[in-house]
Structure 1
């Protein structure tokens, strides 16, 4: 069986989405509806929402809670109307470790509809390693649990 053909439209849509997230600013959040289908679904370790307004709210909250959040897309695989992006997410916390650069490494599975809009966006990243271990108090517990589980 042959894999689905990758169309120029799919490649263009993936390039557009990757560029959008790499250049994302608070002002750009209003334009999310140009990339996502009206009933698009989004899921990450903390959220599961449907619809452009709910997706906008997640990214708006990101800018409220973090200093200088930015994505760097490090790789991508496109097959048919699906894409898998790997990325580094750079930021600093506003409430603790102020100004200390942090990085979360993860991946996004995107499914595009026939119009080249994102219908499904699912983020995969290890919340325990990438986030909880960096938090005061919780971090010490998470590192202890990791050591115990490794035995």
Structure 2
């Protein structure tokens, strides 16, 4: 481990604190959490680099009200961490004022300095998001019923 580098346990604790207290002002310090060439992937995005990762978070703040993460579990093995979480938010365009929750998990791989080099989010976009949308939600629920029968 390099001098001044975080242990994997400390890197995980820092990442959890970052996600649970994330707000737009914190995006200026993204380089403290993510490596310069970090990769990020979720069901809608696949980007690399601090600027692109910052844009994903900026979009989240621009399109949702009161978005925040609640980490519900964590596992660390070597430099790889898995977090389970609830992503809580309110939609701006419909169901205004109604709390929404998306449940998911993240794989984080830390570099030698304890920064996130890989961030991969896993969540079911169909169940956790599409089913909550007007029009598309009805179709998704119908498809789910058809698949079960």
- Superposed counterparts of 1:30-41, under 5 Å: 30-41=28-39
1:129 aligned onto 2:118: no
- Superposed counterparts of 1:2-151, under 5 Å: 9-151=7-149
- Off by >3 Å, runs of 4+ in structure 1: none
* Aligned counterpart, 1:5: none
In 2, Cα distance between the equivalents of 1:122 and 1:68? 22
Structure 1: runs of 5+ lacking an equivalent? 1-7
Shift of 1:29: 1.2
In 1, Cα distance between the equivalents of 2:100 and 2:30? 25
Normalised by the length of structure 2, the TM-score is 0.95
Q: Which secondary structure state, in structure 2, belongs to the residue aligned with residue 149 of structure 1?
A: helix
Structure 2: runs of 5+ lacking an equivalent? 1-5
In 2, Cα distance between the equivalents of 1:88 and 1:98? 19
Aligned CA-pair RMSD? 0.7
Q: Which secondary structure state, in structure 1, belongs to the residue aligned with residue 7 of structure 2?
A: helix
In 2, Cα distance between the equivalents of 1:30 and 1:43? 20
Normalised by the length of structure 1, the TM-score is 0.94
Query: How many residue pairs end up in the alignment?
Result: 144
